[in-house]
A and B are shown apart, each in its own frame.
Chain A
Amino acid sequence: MSTKFGDYGGQYVPEALMPAIEELEDAFKRYVLENEDGFMDEFRERLRTFGGRPTPLQYAEQLSERHGTDIYLKREDLLHGGAHKLNNALGQVLLAKYMGKERIVAETGAGQHGTATAMAAAHLDMPCEVYMGRRDINRQRPNVFRMRLNGAEVTPVTTGRGTLKEAISETMRDWATTVERTHYVIGSVVGPHPFPTMVREFQSVISEEARRQVREEAGRLPSAVVACAGGGSNTMGTFAEFVDDEDVGLYAVEAGGSSLEVDEEAGVAPNSASLSTGTEGVLHGARTKLLQDPDGQIVESHSVSSGLDYAGVGPELAHLVDEGRVTPATVDDDDALEGFHRLSQDEGIIPALESAHAVAWLGEATADQLGECVVLNVSGRGDKDLESVVEETESRDLENAPSMDVFAEADADGGSL
């Protein structure tokens, strides 16, 4: 089994982890690819009964009218936990169980992967520890509550800017210490082989369903498939079964943040657009496209959406972009917030800020890119983002933002009573 996608991928990890990675590759081949001991049957059954699969593909009437093309939403926000993350977390925790591991560790950025892993670990009765950057803990409080409620330990990571990059590094350190009995449930299509392939395999259920559903509902394959891209797990999951359909355009929408320029002096990229602006390098076990300075130091990324806030991206996506099969695009913070409000108002779906990037891109795409039939992955729901959206919206001048004055009015009334 190849460890690489073109020149990307590989296994750049400390030797202490290599035996565990070899063991994982072996287990992945036997249980996942060959369905040994009925692993895949059990996985699919649990996805159905515990996860609520299949998720619907919904025709979006208002959005279709607005953009003058047929738009279908793949509703991963309706998966248990409120995001696509459970597909992978459930698969990996179950695999860990088949492998005889006794403990789960995971990193999380927005908290969606941590939440999904905590749910899967509780469901399958495994102890679970989640590393989360301190900044993200403050940005994503509801998800911290959920992880704690499911019995997971949440350990704050205080190094660097305290976001996903630092959380991954810290989880790798834990794993290097406890590797003999612990499995690291990585949350995206990143890290050393076999993680990028394995996570894509677990997430590809999104495109398996979507491809079948769009043919049933629209009677055709889509002209364009759109997904947001941070590390890229919903992206690869949404694209996987369409990659061989050459006439289907694949669009990966990255966080443009506040600017696409890198401030080298400060070591900060005010965006998370690794596919669009990154250069080739090695981070967290894989060669991929990265946000880095000329020396190769990784710069801090930024996005209003913590789930996209990462300086790297899955190696397979980097390869598909180089091959011209996937087209990267960016949407900045302001437009993503407008996309958030748009989907909430037009369709009655409050999306995750991550998914809002994909929604916003519809307004920036050319008619030629969209074609006549678009499948857009709503990777998660926005409940976790409500506080930060209200805060971020107040500080900007957004065309379609609802007024939140009602609180001030209620406060004033309350005071007079």
Chain B
Amino acid sequence: MSEAIDAAFGGDPAFVPYLAVGDPDVESSLEYVRALERGGADVIELGLPFSEPIAEGPTIQGAVARALEGGMTVERFFEAVERLRDDIDVPLVCMTYYNLIYQYGGEGADRGPEAFVERAAEAGIDGFVVPDLPAEESGPLRRTCDERDLDLIFIVAPTTRGERLRKLMERTSGYVYVQARLGVTGARADVSDRTAESLDRLAEWDVPKAVGFGISSGEQAREVVAAGADGIIVGSALVDIVAEGTENGDPTEEVAARLEATARELNEGAVAGAAERSQSTTRPERT
């Protein structure tokens, strides 16, 4: 497992933002990622755009479409990660769909996750989230990640129970992505009340729990962390800022400043939630 990701969940609640690399172009998106780091990101999920993002709502579908139209490729993604590694230290998690991982560098019988993971490790990636890879099909990628001390982060859904939950929790490393509500990604006014229920189901597992799907404000970040989350994952609310800036033709530095400010707000909300939780006596401390 990646020590960097482990450390990111060591202190205050982790703030884990997502952006699609290449949205709307590589240069701007790298500026945006740097802004998120300045805004207090503890881990950054970098989206590698896939043409059929079945788990994404309209916001991230839009980001993926803009990036692909802008000429984003798998190799350009890795080059972008290499450039980020020159100036930022936070752990970077690659979020993409399995076909891109499976195809990389192979033909015929050579296909498989090995070449992709090797190249990602070399570029400076610390882990992976693959929304269309359930535990059942994860064997080859899990093994390859273990060989290179990289994390494979699984998503636990509100519908995940019993034996399935056990399977996922045994396979996840780094953190577990707790899906706050059913459906696809996208900012929401309310965070689902299923979050607390989901966190309760995971209470016995000693792995950091980061909650995502729908978080868009500092207030929501506070609520989720107060309910027991070890971290918050925010994608669509940030991608919305990029989309709006792109549509209005705003200068990159202005959009970056907005992202940094929103990141701060989210991060502060999470920290406030943690303070609230430590004062509360109703919920036992996670060991």
Contact = CB atoms under 8 A, between A and B. Distances in A.
Q: Is B truly associated with A? A: yes
Interface of A: 3, 10-16, 18-20, 22, 159-160, 165, 169, 172-173, 176-180, 267, 279-285, 290, 292, 294-298
Contacts, number: 119
A298 B65 contact: no
B88 interface: no
Contacts of A280: 108, 111
Contact of A177 (B136, B164, B168, B183): B183
Contacts of A279: 107
B61 interface: yes
A197 to B, nearest CB: 16
Contacts of A298: 51-52, 99
B137 A10 contact: yes
Contact of B131 (A14, A281, A295): A14
Contact of A176 (B104, B156, B183): B183
A18 B134 contact: yes
B200 to A, nearest CB: 18
Contact of A281 (B55, B103, B136, B160): B103
Interface residues of B, number: 44
A160 B74 CA distance: 20
Contacts of A19: 157, 159-161, 164
B18 to A, nearest CB: 16
Contacts of B159: 16, 18-20, 179-180
B211 interface: no
A177 B182 contact: yes
Interface string B128-149: 0001111111000000000000
Contacts of A292: 99, 103
Closest 6 CB pairs of A and B: A296-B103, A177-B183, A16-B157, A296-B99, A282-B99, A297-B51
Nearest to B75: A295
A356 B55 CA distance: 36
Given A11-B136, A298-B51, A173 B57 contact: yes
25 contacts: A11-B136, A12-B132, A14-B131, A14-B157, A15-B154, A15-B156, A15-B164, A15-B168, A16-B157, A16-B179, A169-B53, A173-B57, A173-B183, A173-B184, A176-B182, A176-B184, A177-B183, A177-B184, A281-B103, A285-B132, A292-B99, A295-B73, A296-B50, A297-B51, A298-B99
B57 A11 contact: no
A12 B183 contact: no
Central interface residue in A12, A280, A294, by most chain B CB within 10 Å: A12
Interface in B46-63: 50-57, 61
B158 interface: yes
Nearest to B49: A297
Contacts of B183: 16, 173, 176-177
Nearest to A295: B74
Contact of A15 (B57, B65, B74, B157): B157
A80 B114 CA distance: 50
A281 B102 contact: yes
Interface string B29-71: 0000000000000000000001111111100010001001000
A169 B54 contact: yes
Contacts of B107: 279
A295 B100 contact: yes
Contacts of A294: 103
A199 to B, nearest CB: 19
Given A3-B136, A282-B97, 5 more contacts: A15-B164, A267-B51, A296-B100, A296-B102, A296-B104
A10 B57 CA distance: 24
A217 to B, nearest CB: 44
A183 to B, nearest CB: 14
Nearest to B132: A12
Contact of B99 (A20, A173, A177, A283): A283
Contacts of A22: 164
B224 interface: no
A417 to B, nearest CB: 53
A16 B158 contact: yes
A159 B134 contact: no
B102 A14 contact: no
Contacts of B182: 16, 176-180
Contacts of B161: 19
A17 to B, nearest CB: 8
B179 A15 contact: yes
B155 interface: yes
A78 B100 CA distance: 43
A267 B50 CA distance: 13
Contacts of A297: 50-51, 68, 100
Contact of A282 (B56, B61, B98, B184): B98
